[in-house]
A = this chain, B = another copy of it.
Amino acid sequence: MGEKIPRVALIGIGLIGSSIARGVRHWGLADEIAVQSRRAETVATAERFGLGDRYTTRAAEAVDGADLVILSIPVGAYGAVAQEIAPALKPGAIVSDVGSVKVSAIRQVEPWLPDGVHFVPAHPVAGTEHSGPEAGFTELFIGRWCILTPHAEVDRTAVARMRALWEGLGAQVDEMPADHHDMVLAITSHVPHLIAYNIVGTAAHLEHVTQSEVMKFAAGGFRDFTRIAASDPTMWRDVFLHNREAVLEMLGRFTEDLTALQRAIRWGEGDMLFDLFTRTRAIRRGIIEAGQETEAPDFGRPHIVEPSLETGSPDGAERNPGP
């Protein structure tokens, strides 16, 4: 797992930052963890959970003497924070991040960093719809991918250290150019979030269907989208503003295909619908085989027998359906 890091500074301590803190502690990946958030209330929560060894609301103070600095903040704040911490960075330190957009991350951070400080951008492809230091958990990154997008000229020892850290947290590590990352994530994450937010918004503003009906009958499919549409608004606003070109390109593909489906429905072209609906099953199978999804039906959501109904044999009580 590589050598232990003397001091890690976590700038931002939300879902991702606090999961890193828990994992670093759990697997003993660093000697000391400095925790920072701009909000005193968040710092207090982090302290209550014992996520670090030192706590501060000032980023420059947190990075002082740190061998590794990880930004776990919305992408829109990178430039200002990089400017703020730059003078306090230790020579030879590694700066990294966890953001969902990488070209913009590099563009915002690199100009501020002094010579001899290594920027190794990282993106752990993991998360839940919950936010804040209380939402993190040790196991979040296990089996998930973490993508590193360093420039070709970045020091390979620094890259190797980041790889070791993420493997230590349970992740699989991949490396690719930042612009390719932004294109891959536009289709696997950003556009899915956009259309989830969008349909939830559409459903909330209809004349002939009430919000109460939308909520009651959400189990027909809609509720799956609401999970993603409950993700952190600031983080996602920044993702769309900072990965504009790739998102607009992938969104263009999506709407082009959707228009073709719409036309097939209008003209009753059942074969086209059936063909698409058959092909899409293989993709899910591939994701399950790649270890990136559970095989349990309905995501393994609990299907529970209420005690009042439990009049027959007890074998159906409080269990998930078998696969």
Question: Contact residues of A with B, CB < 8 Å?
Answer: 25-28, 76, 100, 125-130, 135, 137-140, 142-145, 147, 170, 174, 180, 183-185, 187-204, 206, 208-209, 211, 213-231, 233-234, 236-238, 240-241, 244, 247-248, 250-251, 253-255, 257-259, 261-262, 265-266, 268, 270, 273-274, 276-281, 283-287, 289-290, 292-294, 296-306, 309, 311-313, 316, 319, 321-322
Contacts and interface: CB of A to CB of B under 8 A. Distances in A.
Q: How many copies does the complex hold?
A: 2
A129 B257 contact: no
Nearest to A269: B241
A237 B236 CA distance: 33
30 contacts: A28-B311, A28-B312, A100-B220, A127-B220, A128-B298, A128-B321, A138-B316, A139-B304, A139-B305, A142-B304, A174-B216, A183-B209, A187-B222, A188-B221, A189-B221, A192-B220, A194-B265, A196-B224, A204-B280, A211-B286, A215-B289, A218-B287, A227-B299, A229-B283, A229-B284, A233-B281, A241-B265, A247-B265, A255-B255, A294-B301
Is chain A's interface secondary structure helix, strand, loop, or mixed overall? helix
A251 B255 CA distance: 11
A239 B88 CA distance: 61
Contacts of A284: 129, 200, 223, 226-227, 229-230
Contacts of A217: 125, 145, 147, 184-185, 188-189, 292
A188 B214 contact: yes
A266 to B, nearest CB: 6
A220 B101 CA distance: 12
B142 A306 contact: yes
A233 to B, nearest CB: 4
A133 to B, nearest CB: 13
Given A195-B195, A241-B273, A274-B237, A215 B258 contact: no
Contact of A196 (B194, B221, B285): B221
Nearest to A135: B297
B27 A312 contact: yes
A255 B258 contact: yes
A12 B14 CA distance: 49
Contacts of A189: 217, 220-222
Contacts of A200: 280, 283-284
Contact of A281 (B174, B220, B230, B262): B230
A149 to B, nearest CB: 13
A170 B27 CA distance: 45
Given A144-B219, A197-B276, A199-B191, A270 B306 contact: no
